[in-house]
Structure 1
Amino acid sequence: MKKEEGKTGVGSVLKKSVWKLVFLVIVIIVIWLTLKDSWEEIWSELNHTSWKIIAGVFSLSILYNCFDGIAVAKLVRNYAPGFAWQDGILCSFYYSFFRVVTFGSGTAAAGMYYVNKKGIPVSASLGIFTLNYTVQRAAICLYFIFGFLSNYGEMNHQYGGYQKEMILGSVLAVVTVAVLIIFCTYRPLHKKTLALARRAAQKDTQREKIDEWEEKAVLVRTEAYRVLKNRKLLLNVIMLNFLKLSMWYFIPAVVFQMLNSPKLSMLMSVAAMMTALSGVIPAPGGVGAVEFVFVLLFTPLVGRTKAASGMLIYRFSTYILPFLFGAVVVLKTQVLSKRKEEK
């Protein structure tokens, strides 16, 4: 029996080692696939860019994730006061990796998984990350509106033809925020949804699963109410979202060497409009929405050539760089997890 148990133990260790190796290979393949189509042109652009600009852009990119992580940590600490600030920042980089790997669909799930490894239950993290996303969408909408109004004359002159898209983008943002808040807090919606699920359930296992969902719905509502009632916390998280967005919105000004320009506020407002409208203005086939809208909106201000080169650096600093840092965090997390299992 002891020999058989020993063999089983060795087999289990070998299986885990193989899966870790497979995971590492998958990460490397994903990184290669992400960079292969754009690395050559991005690398060429970086080579022709001043190291001071590159350092500034990279610093802003990292600061974005730092502010984002602190906002996550603040929400988590409202539930678990012992949650470390650095874990919030690492969590931000962690789901930045999965945002690329899953094309945005697995971002929240990755964040929930990371904090779950730190002892935060899934039911609580669901409410936390839903609210975090809700505040982010609200901040994007407000930033765009404030930026547009503060530079109304020039914004209306340059981009008056996109009034319908601006209104649609703002309406979609407001509707998204409202739907997410209702999803987290509206008890009658939960009850009706679960009642319909119970009627459709035919097996005991399905009914047991619905009971689990009901318990989770109660916990999600509790966590949502806890955050929404804490006005100081909400204000802090909104301010952190404004700060993190400002880091990305500063990047075009750094790239175009216009930090001391009187047009700085205008450049940041255009960057805010780009984020708000990237899902509204249709992009030609084969071109990313953000990249297309970046060139479209910045061309009237700096010319098409500068706008196109600036877009490459912006794309790298806001998309690929956090992804690469996130890959390091993912690999480190896997290594630490393996060591704990071995102990």
Structure 2
Amino acid sequence: MKSHSKTKIVLNVLLLASILGVIFFVMDNSLSDIFSELAKTSWMVIGLVVILGTIYQIIEGQSIKEISSHFTSSFTTKDGFFASCYVAFYRVISFGTGTLVSEVFYYKKKGLAVSQGVGVTALHMIMYKAAVIFLSAIGLVIQFSLFYEYRPGMIPFILTGMILTFLIIFVLLILSSSINLQIFLVKLANKWLKRQKLRNLVDEWNLQIYSLRETVQTITKDRSALSRIFIWNICKLFFWYVIPYIVLVVNHPEIDFLLVLSFTSFAVILSGVFPTPAGIGPFEFIYLMLFKPLVGTVDAVSSLLLYRFGSFVLPFLIGMVYVLVGKRKEIKAEIQAVRKEREKALEEEQ
């Protein structure tokens, strides 16, 4: 037992050291431009960006709480707030690969079953994408005449982005709610997979998918909760979308508020479907393409970096503190356990 406790301490210390190493690498490389821009920005603008980014996370926490509370009444808005930041942290240090796993793992730590955590994650994604479509559609209606006159070629891309995002929502809903599709996939797997080990794996996945469907159906039966979750997602996106306006209005007081919100929503919806040059993120490319003719390259890049700080770096930093404090508590608890074991062993020897 003593050896096992010491091993856990060593593994946790090594994991903590690895996390710190990745954090240093990310901050020194991927996030260096954002921190450089912050150094050149007025404290008032930075303060407003931080406030807007924090409000987003609070509303996100309420949205997650609305979903998770169907399975555990102890899940709070604060838990949802840190869930979002926890996921943001692991999204950055895993370079996107650990996003979904980290979210499910967080819910598991809060007492939800894995299938329930997957269900909450799936519905969380669905409602977010539904809100993105809704705001993009409003933006297109408001700015349609402007686009039709100056950039008619963008309209098909925006519509394509909406359609593809809708298809993602549709597929997620079908996979998490259709028993007929589940039966079809199981039959197909049993027909082609002959090895018993693979068939056992399919049976295990089948049970998880069944539990996932039960989870999603439990939530979707509550129409009022769905409406609230959808409204919360619209509200949170608004606070993100307003960040570029707060940054740009300083040097461009004549800039139109709704135009900036619409352009930001278009960048979000198009980032998943627009082909971009190598080495440039889809969102960044679309954002700059839309805003550079409006405010010039320098201010467009500046607003992009500050938007990325409020929407990407801020939750990462909060999540980093949350994870590091949690790891410190774990290591401290394990050291205390080893000391108690040692004291107990000494008492037994005496």
TM norm structure 2: 0.89
1:177-207 per-position Cα deviation (integer Å, ceiling 9, x unaligned): 1001001001111112122333445455544
CA separation of 1:14 and 1:290: change in aligned 2, threshold 3 A: same
Contact residue 161 and residue 273 of structure 2 kept, 8 A: yes
1:249-281 per-position Cα deviation (integer Å, ceiling 9, x unaligned): 011011112698671111111100010011222
CA separation of 1:120 and 1:263: change in aligned 2, threshold 3 A: same
1:97-145 per-position Cα deviation (integer Å, ceiling 9, x unaligned): 1122233332222111011011100011111111110111111111101
The DSSP-based 3-state class of the residue aligned with 1:103 is coil
CA separation of 1:130 and 1:38: change in aligned 2, threshold 3 A: closer
- For 1:293 and 1:177, how far apart are their aligned partners in 2? 22
Match for residue 268 of structure 2? Answer: 275
Structure 1 unaligned blocks of 5 or more: 1-8
Match for residue 83 of structure 2? Answer: 91
Match for residue 163 of structure 1? Answer: 155
Match for residue 283 of structure 2? Answer: 290
Amino acid at match of 1:317: G
- For 1:338 and 1:17, how far apart are their aligned partners in 2? 6
Aligned match of 1:141 in 116, 133, 137? 133
The DSSP-based 3-state class of the residue aligned with 2:237 is helix
Contact residue 158 and residue 300 of structure 1 kept, 8 A: no
Contact residue 249 and residue 272 of structure 1 kept, 8 A: yes
Contact residue 58 and residue 77 of structure 2 kept, 8 A: no
Match for residue 333 of structure 1? Answer: 326
Contact residue 291 and residue 315 of structure 1 kept, 8 A: no
How many residue pairs were aligned? Answer: 335
Contact residue 42 and residue 313 of structure 1 kept, 8 A: yes
Match for residue 5 of structure 1? Answer: none
Matched, 1:263 2:268: no
Contact residue 13 and residue 331 of structure 2 kept, 8 A: no
Contact residue 274 and residue 290 of structure 1 kept, 8 A: yes
Superposition pairs for residues 184-223 of structure 1, below 5 Å?
Answer: 184-202=176-194, 204-223=196-215
Contact residue 16 and residue 327 of structure 2 kept, 8 A: no
Match for residue 97 of structure 2? Answer: 105
Amino acid at match of 1:325: I
The DSSP-based 3-state class of the residue aligned with 1:285 is coil
Question: What percentage of aligned pairs have identical amino acids?
Answer: 29
TM norm structure 1: 0.90
Superposition pairs for residues 1-343 of structure 1, below 5 Å?
Answer: 9-202=1-194, 204-257=196-249, 263-338=256-331
1:193-250 per-position Cα deviation (integer Å, ceiling 9, x unaligned): 1223334454555444433323222221112112222111111111111111111101
More moved, 204-213 vs 191-200: 204-213
Amino acid at match of 2:98: G
